[in-house]
Structure 1
Amino acid sequence: MRVSHSFSADFDDPNLVSAAGLVPVMDLAQETGLHELVADRLTVPGPAGSNAAAKVPALVAGMVAGADSITDMGLLRHGGMSRPFTAGRAPTTLGTHLRAYTFGHVRQLDAVASRLLANLADRVPGVVAGADQVAYLDVDDTIRATHGYAKQGTGYGYSGVRGLNAQLATLSTPTAAPVVAATRLRRGSAASAHGAPRLIGEAIATARRAGATGTITVRADSAYYNRDVVAAVQTGGARFSITARMDPAVTAAISRIPEESWTAIQYPNAIFDEEEGRWISDAEVAEVPYTAFTSRRKAEHVTARLIVRRVRRLNPSTAPAGQDELLTAYRHHAVFTDSPLSTLEAEASHRDHAIVEQVIADLKNGPLTHLPSGVFTANAAWLVCAAMAFNLTRAAGVIASTTHARARTATIRTQLIQVPARIANHARRWRLHLPTHWPWRTAWENLFERAHRTATAIA
């Protein structure tokens, strides 16, 4: 493709918008009660906290459209944006609002996000399709790198990167892509499992509120292998599937598995093992009963299943010192779980925990490209708004098409949100004129008809 003519350019059209997809998405937000939830639950004091019911939806809208900093919120105030949307706010006003938050206000915003997800699941059932049978809560955390020393709470965490630590719990089902059920921003030096029991309890409550009335399984990696996390899962009435650390007790349990108990499995897709430096395409799986946390008092012991996957070591020198011949010949990955699934199903299900990494990547490719404020609580509120924007975008994709229902947020943003349009008035009715031959026209029209028409009818 080559440029065919010589052009000049002028920014002089007051009727153009760069993100026409925001119209149906913010209609969906209105239909699911975002503005009312903020007005009812958020009590930020002073002039900066006034009219939060306009400022929080503006922050969410900016993130849906691709804003990843306070300054980027200016994209809500260009061209004809004042026609489809009211109560626009300047980026400086939105930044001042965020900086007025205390930890208590962030918790109020968490409550808004939880109820918004429940309302989305009610209005758009496909968001958590199948949750009345089986649902998964995946918990993980990530370091969001920061630069300079002005941001509150930054520190060096497990990754060796200076930044802030964002902890997330995502809700998914075998037929529905994940949405964000709970978030928490922590200091950069926080351990992965710090605060996880409370987050898990809130995520389970949110999942139930969103329609997850069936079996909920909480999945996590070995950083969350501790008694308090398991207790929080059990208290919430859920099941757990957590990677076990290879401590001496787990190693001893694995060594007791009879050789004839191992069942060969074939991975549908090869997995790259960084420690071995090779692709793995097959493995063996077995299980053994196991009682964990025996260093604690007897009432806190937990007996469940230890499901173990092993792969043969091509280089035995990578084995830890002091291991017996069996553990030298194989590398083992153990999962501590009370799942009712069969051995092979439970092991395969646990590997799907990696789905949370895709959500983290999507957020880092969007609102979490930056944590934009020097104030810790402002960044914590920004994280909650990012979760609400993610969930609204996911719901928009579910409405639009089966393809978009599982697409990455960047794809939904490009194909459905960031669609340029010219606003015109015909017979006292506003109309959006979009590009001809838009490849995703049908999906966009599905979203517009479902979200905008329904919201208009309700209004």
Structure 2
Amino acid sequence: MQLSHTRPVVSAAFDEPNLVSSAGLVPAMALAGEARLRELGDEHLSVPTDKGANAGLKLSGLVAGMTAGADSIDDMALLRHGAMGKVFAGIYAPSTLGSFLRAFTFGHVRQADAIASRFLINLTQRTALLGETADTATVMVDIDDTIVEVHGYQKQGAGFGYSGVRGLNAVLATVSSQTFAPVIAAQRLRNGSAGSPRGATRLATDALALIRRTHLAGRDVLVRADSAFYSHALVTAALKAGANVSITVRMDPAVKRAIAGIAETAWTTIKYTDAVYDETTRTWNSRAEVAEVPFTAFTSKNKTDQVPGRLVVRRIPDLNPRNSEGQDTLFDSWRFHAFFTTTDTTEMDTVAADQTHRAHAVIENVHADLKASALAHLPSGVFNANAAWLVCAVMAFNLTRAAATLTKTPTLTRATTATIRRKLITVPARIATSARRLTLHLPTNWPWQTAWSTLYNALFPRPATTHT
């Protein structure tokens, strides 16, 4: 592709009042309206009147901007161009939205958390965001945190955590299954030096409570996390809520003794990095192996507080042993990765348990997705404003995913939100007005025209008028 030279001069002017750059916001915000986002904001947010007037509209504006790709308060200006004022009402200036966020206290952030959970539930009633009601697959709740890097010394709560990067710590709980992509069920923003398990138990119980309020209630639930979240409080809270756990354990003396007691004949070869499948024997040629042993967690607690389960161990050869000079070792040196699970062997054998636990890495994709969109920055110097920004980012994430499910397009349903925005949201259109009716004139030959029209038709009583 190159610039066309069919005309001697190419000129440009910002003089078209009937254009919008993100026509996909029309069906997206219609879906947000059906999920009562504005009403929830008005009902549950008690931000002081001087800053919080029309709280529902301002909250909707923040979510709309993030859905369209805004990653800072200044970016909210993308809602104030061309014919956006003809299509949408209640469009606020970025400075107004910034003042609104800075008026948040910790209590207001918790109110926003409640709005986000109710908004998600309403979305699930209108879309297949959490799969179909007939599905029976196990529901996975994944918990993990990430550091959102910040710069400068004006950010409240910024600090150096486990990553060595100056930032704020965001912890998420996602819900997923074999039949639907991860959805964020709960979120918290902590100071940068906060330990990973801080507040994780409450986060897990919030996510599990949300599941019980949707059509997922009654399904098997498995809570997955890494070793930073291995604690008696989290495990017992999950079990009390009716869920099983699959959590990486630390290599403490009790775990090492349990691994040492595994018989050499108990190890099973698994599919792993660089594995080759042998069609003749129908087995994997791999150096990675798994085994399990009965294990009781938290033996330092009273006997009634101890948790029985299984210790599933994966071992791979240590290709970089500490003693790398001199004579080769006489025996293989192994690296071990162990996790504790309360699932039953009849439900999930050793190999399946290992594969299921490794799929916990899906939450890293959610972190990357958020950081590639609204969470690219934490825009305010005020901690509670940034905490509210995180909640809005989560609502925009879930709204974008919900909109994609209405297209009935499998590739879009599981795509990243950046892909969904590019194909469905940031579609340019020209507005035409006739007899008090607005018509969106979208680009001809738009590659995802069918998906966009399916989304539009699902939200408006009359079919979309798409001119070709």
In 2: Cα distance, 1:54 partner to 1:47 partner? 15
Tell me how far 1:133 sits from its aligned partner.
Answer: 4.0
2:155 equivalent to 1:128:
no
Tell me how far 1:122 sits from its aligned partner.
Answer: 1.2
Aligned counterpart, 1:413: 421
Alignment counterpart, residue 248 of structure 2, candidates 243, 248, 266 = 243
Supply the AA of the counterpart residue of 1:4: S
Q: Which 10-residue stretch deviates more, 373-382 or 418-427?
A: 418-427
In 2: Cα distance, 1:316 partner to 1:45 partner? 61
Tell me how far 1:439 sits from its aligned partner.
Answer: 0.5
2:229 equivalent to 1:195:
no
In 2: Cα distance, 1:318 partner to 1:393 partner? 52
Aligned counterpart, 1:3: 3
Summarize the Cα distance change of 1:311–1:162 in structure 2 as closer, same or farther, 3 Å threshold.
same
Supply the AA of the counterpart residue of 2:53: S
SS at match of 1:148: coil
Aligned counterpart, 1:336: 340
Supply the AA of the counterpart residue of 2:271: Q
Aligned counterpart, 1:54: 57
Aligned counterpart, 1:393: 400
Contact 1:129 1:173 in 2 (8 A): no
SS at match of 1:403: helix
1:8-27 matches, cutoff 5 A:
8-27=11-30
Contact 2:128 2:406 in 1 (8 A): no
Alignment counterpart, residue 141 of structure 1, candidates 126, 142, 145 = 145
1:26-425 matches, cutoff 5 A:
26-129=29-132, 133-213=137-217, 214-267=219-272, 282-317=287-322, 329-340=333-344, 341-400=348-407, 401-425=409-433
Tell me how far 1:155 sits from its aligned partner.
Answer: 0.7
Structure 1 residues without counterparts, runs of 5 or longer: 271-279
Contact 1:30 1:455 in 2 (8 A): no
SS at match of 2:271: strand
In 2: Cα distance, 1:455 partner to 1:220 partner? 45
RMSD between superposed Cα atoms in Å: 2.1
SS at match of 2:396: helix
Aligned length: 443
Determine which structure has the larger helix proportion and give its number: 1
Tell me how far 1:121 sits from its aligned partner.
Answer: 1.1
Contact 1:157 1:188 in 2 (8 A): yes
Superposed CA offset, 1:399-423 (max 9, x none) = 1111100001110011110000000
Tell me how far 1:14 sits from its aligned partner.
Answer: 0.6
User: Taking structure 1 as the reference length, what is the TM-score of the superposition?
Assistant: 0.93
SS at match of 1:4: coil
Aligned counterpart, 2:279: none
In 1: Cα distance, 2:144 partner to 2:212 partner? 20
Superposed CA offset, 1:146-179 (max 9, x none) = 1111011111100001110000000101110001
Contact 1:134 1:212 in 2 (8 A): no
Summarize the Cα distance change of 1:423–1:200 in structure 2 as closer, same or farther, 3 Å threshold.
same
Contact 1:23 1:452 in 2 (8 A): no
2:460 equivalent to 1:452:
yes
Contact 1:178 1:359 in 2 (8 A): yes
SS at match of 1:96: helix
Supply the AA of the counterpart residue of 1:117: L
Superposed CA offset, 1:377-417 (max 9, x none) = 00000000000000000011111111100001110011110
In 1: Cα distance, 2:175 partner to 2:132 partner? 11
Supply the AA of the counterpart residue of 1:75: L
In 2: Cα distance, 1:54 partner to 1:282 partner? 57
Tell me how far 1:39 sits from its aligned partner.
Answer: 1.4
Superposed CA offset, 1:82-116 (max 9, x none) = 11110110000000001111111111110111011
Supply the AA of the counterpart residue of 1:337: T
Supply the AA of the counterpart residue of 1:444: W
Q: Which 10-residue stretch deviates more, 32-41 or 138-147?
A: 32-41
SS at match of 1:267: coil
Summarize the Cα distance change of 1:282–1:24 in structure 2 as closer, same or farther, 3 Å threshold.
farther
SS at match of 1:422: strand
In 2: Cα distance, 1:444 partner to 1:94 partner? 29
Superposed CA offset, 1:292-324 (max 9, x none) = 1112232221111001111122333279xxxx9
Contact 2:127 2:402 in 1 (8 A): yes
Q: Which 10-residue stretch deviates more, 433-442 or 34-43?
A: 34-43
Aligned counterpart, 1:434: 442
Structure 2 residues without counterparts, runs of 5 or longer: 276-284
Contact 1:170 1:179 in 2 (8 A): yes
Contact 1:218 1:241 in 2 (8 A): yes
SS at match of 2:447: coil
